[in-house]
Amino acid sequence: MVLEKLGESLRETLQKIASSLFVDEKLVNELVKDMQRALLQADVNVKLVLDLTNKIKARILKEETPGGLTKKEHLIRIVYDELTQFLGKDVRALTEAKPTIVMLVGLFGNGKTTTCAKLAKYYSKRGKRVALLSTDIWRPAALAQLQQLGKQIQIPVFGDAQLKDALAIYKKFEPELQKYELVIVDTAGRDALSQELVDELNALNGYVKAQERLLVMSGDIGQAAQKQAEMFHQSCNITGVIMTRLDGTAKGGGALTACSVTQAPVMFIGTGEKVDDLDVFDPKRFVGRLLGMGDIEALLEKAKEAFSEEKAEDISERLMKGEFSLIDLYEQMEALSTMGPIGKVMELVPGFSQVKLPKEALQVQEGKLKKWRYIMDSCTKDELNDPEMISAGRIDRIAKGSGCSPSDIRELLKQYKTGKKLVKMLKGGPKKAESMMKRLGVSLR
């Protein structure tokens, strides 16, 4: 696996935490030191290692462990969060255009031509009409190499070995290329990023205006990756990175560094010489594997609680505006019965992470929840949105419809009022909420 050693060290470090009785500053320092060592050994750039570990440390020391998570789980979650942040978070798809033009750039021998063919196969398998274009006028037989690969994967290859200007080659085939959905352009490399190469790439791209400019970098170039990525980024404004040769003993951290300095995510990794040896790079899965996926999955599941994060965010926004309906109440209750999303919502509302709310205030038994569901099913939409309008007459009607007693309905309405009170408190700010909490005490229930 890529960065096997890094993963091993990180898992060891986390294991240390797991077996410690207390998580104190000393242990956190140790964790940070271990992580630094592991990342540096994997060739990740020194400054980035410091930035990353400082961020992790600051968060660990500052953030309170959310309810439902152990301190250890919280630490792992922070490490996971920051590592995925560092690597670009989500899988990035190609920009859509007609046609989408993808230009692969990089130094000699980093795997551009091979990767062109890998990408062509990958996207054609997914239904895109793909063409390959060679604009490499430097490498002898560059066109022949691409043609041979193209034949193997049955993708048309355009190029003209007679022309000695990359842009002229592109222009010659431009009308033809418009017929494709995806055009992958192989460019020439150099030993180092020279002005000549920069001028050549700029002249070509100034006209082509490729939607994607992907830097192809070998995983084994170590710390040199940082400088290379920076230079390519400055001259070509890189939109993504493809790391090759991650099948060998490459430590890979150098190339990982690239995505951070260019702010362009690693999109694919090359894991061999064959056209199928290409993997989509999924930062979350990757980090998950580094840290031991089983743990992470279970942890994130737990942290997600019964709510999705977006939903919690959405609700917290509405709560802050003072909007609160019976449906909100029900969702809160339902989720609370499993884990405690009010806590999650509170975390998301700035300033509230410190306020202690009596969780029991909103906790109800499952049986009651079921009843409430029936009651709500018998309510009209207006009643759900504005429960204050539920008069005695309406209570009787709902009782008949739901098969519940009027007192059940009154209880639900009472709970709604309590919830609404809570929301008002939230709106008043953390200080007010706390003082009101004190005043109300357990009577909130």
Ligand X SMILES: Nc1nc2c(ncn2[C@@H]2O[C@H](COP(=O)(O)OP(=O)(O)OP(=O)(O)O)[C@@H](O)[C@H]2O)c(=O)[nH]1
Q: Which does 106 bind (CB under 5 to 8 A by kind): ligand X, Mg ion, none?
A: ligand X
Q: How many residues bind Mg ion (CB under 5 A)?
A: 2
Query: Is residue 147 at the binding interface for Mg ion, with CB under 5 A as the rule?
Result: no
Tell me the residue length of the chain: 445
Query: Is residue 134 at the binding interface for Mg ion, with CB under 5 A as the rule?
Result: no
Q: Which does 420 bind (CB under 5 to 8 A by kind): ligand X, Mg ion, none?
A: none
Query: Is residue 428 at the binding interface for ligand X, with CB under 6 A as the rule?
Result: no
- Least distance to Mg ion from the beta carbon of 48, Å? 29
Query: Is residue 272 at the binding interface for ligand X, with CB under 6 A as the rule?
Result: yes
Residue 112 or 245 with smaller CB distance to Mg ion: 112
Residue nearest to Mg ion (CB): 113
Among residues 72, 121, 139, 371, the one that binds ligand X under rule CB under 6 A: 139
Residue 147 or 332 with smaller CB distance to ligand X: 147
Gap between the Cα atoms of 284 and 94, Å rounded: 18
Q: Contact letters (x/-) for ligand X, 150-189, by CB under 6 A?
A: ---------------------------------------x
Contact 219/252 with Cβ under 8 angstroms?
A: yes
Gap between the Cα atoms of 131 and 271, Å rounded: 23
Could you say which residues in the range 246-265 bind ligand X, by CB under 6 A? 247-248
Gap between the Cα atoms of 314 and 345, Å rounded: 9
Query: Is residue 325 at the binding interface for Mg ion, with CB under 5 A as the rule?
Result: no
Q: Is 357 helix (H, G, I), strand (E, B) or coil?
A: coil
Residue 92 or 245 with smaller CB distance to ligand X: 245
Residue 189 or 283 with smaller CB distance to ligand X: 189
Tokens of 44: 């990740």
Q: Which does 244 bind (CB under 5 to 8 A by kind): ligand X, Mg ion, none?
A: ligand X
For residue 214, what are the β-bridge partners? 104, 240
Could you say which residues in the range 377-416 bind ligand X, by CB under 6 A? none
Residue 49 or 204 with smaller CB distance to ligand X: 204
Gap between the Cα atoms of 170 and 158, Å rounded: 9
Stretch that binds ligand X, among 21-29, 240-248, 361-369, 414-422 (CB under 6 A): 240-248
Query: Is residue 322 at the binding interface for ligand X, with CB under 6 A as the rule?
Result: no
> Residues near 396 by Cβ (< 8 Å), separated by ≥ 6?
406
- Least distance to Mg ion from the beta carbon of 112, Å? 5
Gap between the Cα atoms of 379 and 102, Å rounded: 55
Q: Which does 335 bind (CB under 5 to 8 A by kind): Mg ion, ligand X, none?
A: none
Gap between the Cα atoms of 201 and 210, Å rounded: 11
Could you say which residues in the range 92-121 bind Mg ion, by CB under 5 A? 112-113
Residue 235 or 271 with smaller CB distance to ligand X: 271
Query: Is residue 429 at the binding interface for ligand X, with CB under 6 A as the rule?
Result: no
Stretch that binds ligand X, among 92-100, 135-143, 192-200, 370-378 (CB under 6 A): 135-143
Residue 216 or 229 with smaller CB distance to ligand X: 216
> Residues near 138 by Cβ (< 8 Å), separated by ≥ 6?
188, 189, 190
- Least distance to Mg ion from the beta carbon of 149, Å? 10
Long-range pairs, 142-146, Cβ under 8 A, ≥24: 142/113, 142/186, 142/188, 145/113, 146/113, 146/116, 146/117, 146/186
Tell me the CA end-to-end span of the chain in Å, nearest whole number: 53
Could you say which residues in the range 58-117 bind ligand X, by CB under 6 A? 106, 108-114
- Least distance to Mg ion from the beta carbon of 74, Å? 47
Gap between the Cα atoms of 361 and 257, Å rounded: 48
- Residues 412, 321, 442, CA angle at the centre, nearest 5°? 45
Among residues 4, 30, 63, 277, the one that binds ligand X under rule CB under 6 A: 277
CA torsion sign for 28, 29, 33, 36 is positive
Residue 113 or 244 with smaller CB distance to Mg ion: 113
User: Which amino acid is it at 337?
Assistant: S
Gap between the Cα atoms of 207 and 169, Å rounded: 12
Query: Around Cβ 399, how many Cβ atoms within 10 Å?
Result: 18
CA distances from 17 to 22, 23, 73 (A): 8, 7, 10
Query: Is residue 235 at the binding interface for Mg ion, with CB under 5 A as the rule?
Result: no
Gap between the Cα atoms of 331 and 344, Å rounded: 13
Query: Around Cβ 59, how many Cβ atoms within 10 Å?
Result: 16
- Least distance to Mg ion from the beta carbon of 300, Å? 41
Contact positions vs ligand X (CB under 6 A): 106, 108-114, 136, 139, 142, 189, 216, 244-245, 247-248, 270-273, 277
Residues engaged in binding Mg ion (CB under 5 A): 112-113
